């Protein structure tokens, strides 16, 4: 077995998958809320107060995957999702690195594509996320040499004959973070995109998509996505109870 195989097999999970109960959910959130806020503060990445105090209808109290979020309307991409209550999924967008909301179509068009982050929350039960796939499925269909990318990341191409087209997987082999993302080359009418799936709990899957040009920011980006979601969860906890 090669050294790289050992590294892939030993990749830790970015977030622990726990049996979903109200107690484990509370423990995950209380711990992550604390560290997520510190990570955002130290990186200078905070959700703009103007976004949380938007003048549009909202923010909306929603529940996805059993977790409550208080989401400003400006982050929500689709009108049909701008309502309170339990949702099977919600799609958000913001600009990097300012975290400015981009749910509005006009704001989205005016933002350079390399600065746009799409985040999807879903209650779909997904047994394997990007880190799991790296150590199971992807490692069986890697082709070609290892390519160095940036800041501890390497790239492995996926076998086109296995149905993966021109996609590749970029992952961390030096810092033990478990970071892995699948990237597509794009084309004339399709953006080059990387996406990363993270199973936050047994009831909530987070998928975020970003430009390959942001791979050099992979650590700050990963921390900011978690911190952003935790900020929305904390805002829900802090919101005054409705009568």
Q: What is the pLDDT of residues 176-194, one digit of tens each?
A: 889 999 999 877 778 899 9
Q: Would you say 72 and 52 are in contact if contact means Cβ atoms under 8 Å apart?
A: yes
Task: Kindly report, residue by residue over 211-225, the tens digit of the pLDDT.
Answer: 999 999 999 999 999
Domain-by-domain residue ranges, the chain?
Answer: 3-238
- What is the pLDDT at residue 10? 52
Q: How far is CA 141 from CA 19, 99, 222, in A?
A: 31, 35, 25
Token pair for residue 140?
A: 């069986």
User: What Cα–Cα distance (Å) separates residue 188 from each residue in 96, 109, 183, 191, 194?
Assistant: 23, 17, 16, 8, 17
Name the residue with higher pLDDT: 243 or 207.
207
Query: How far is residue 133's CA from residue 140's CA, in Å, rounded to a whole number?
Result: 10
Q: What is the rounded distance in angstroms from the CA atom of residue 126 to the CA atom of residue 205?
A: 7
Q: What is the pLDDT of residues 4-50, one digit of tens each?
A: 554 555 555 444 333 333 333 443 553 454 454 445 445 454 455 54
Q: Is-contact 104 74, C-beta < 8 A?
A: yes
pLDDT reading at 141 higher than 90 = yes
Q: For 51-62, how does the pLDDT look when each residue is reduced to its tens digit (9 = 90+)?
A: 444 445 679 999
pLDDT for 8: 55
Q: Contact 122/203 with Cβ under 8 angstroms?
A: no
Question: Residue 164 and residue 76: Cα distance in Å, rounded?
Answer: 30
* CA–CA dist 228, 211 (Å, integer): 18
CA distance 106 to 102: 8
Phi, psi for 71 (deg, rounded to 5)? -110, 120
The string of pLDDT tens digits covering residues 73-118 is 999 999 999 999 999 999 999 999 999 999 999 999 999 999 999 9
Question: Edge-to-edge strands of the sheet including 168-172?
Answer: 89-95, 116-122, 204-210, 193-201, 180-184, 168-172, 153-158, 142-148
Residues 17 and 28: their CA atoms lie apart, in Å, by 10
- Mention every residue, 6+ apart, whose C-beta is less than 8 A from residue 80: none
């Amino acid at each position: 077995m090669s050294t790289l195989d050992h590294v892939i097999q030993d990749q830790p999970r970015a977030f622990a998958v726990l049996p979903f109960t109200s107690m484990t959910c509370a423990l995950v959130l209380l711990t992550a809320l604390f560290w997520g806020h510190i990570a955002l503060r130290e990186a200078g990445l905070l959700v703009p107060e103007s976004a949380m105090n938007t003048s549009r209808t909202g923010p909306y109290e929603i529940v996805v995957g059993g977790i409550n979020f208080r989401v400003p309307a400006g982050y929500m991409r689709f009108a049909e999702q701008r309502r309170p209550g339990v949702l099977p999924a919600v799609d958000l967008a913001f600009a990097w690195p300012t975290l400015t909301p981009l749910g509005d179509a006009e704001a989205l068009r005016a933002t350079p594509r390399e600065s746009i982050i799409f985040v999807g929350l879903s209650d779909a039960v997904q047994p394997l996320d990007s880190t799991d796939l790296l150590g199971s499925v992807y490692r069986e269909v890697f082709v070609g040499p290892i390519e160095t990318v940036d800041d501890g990341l390497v790239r492995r191409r996926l076998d086109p004959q296995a149905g993966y087209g021109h996609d590749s997987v970029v992952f961390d082999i030096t810092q033990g973070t478990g970071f892995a993302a699948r990237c597509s080359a794009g084309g004339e009418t399709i953006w080059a995109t990387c996406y990363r799936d993270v199973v936050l709990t047994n009831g909530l899957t987070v998928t975020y998509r970003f430009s390959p040009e942001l791979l050099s920011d992979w650590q700050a980006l990963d921390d900011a996505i978690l911190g952003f979601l935790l900020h929305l969860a904390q805002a829900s906890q802090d919101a005054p109870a409705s009568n």
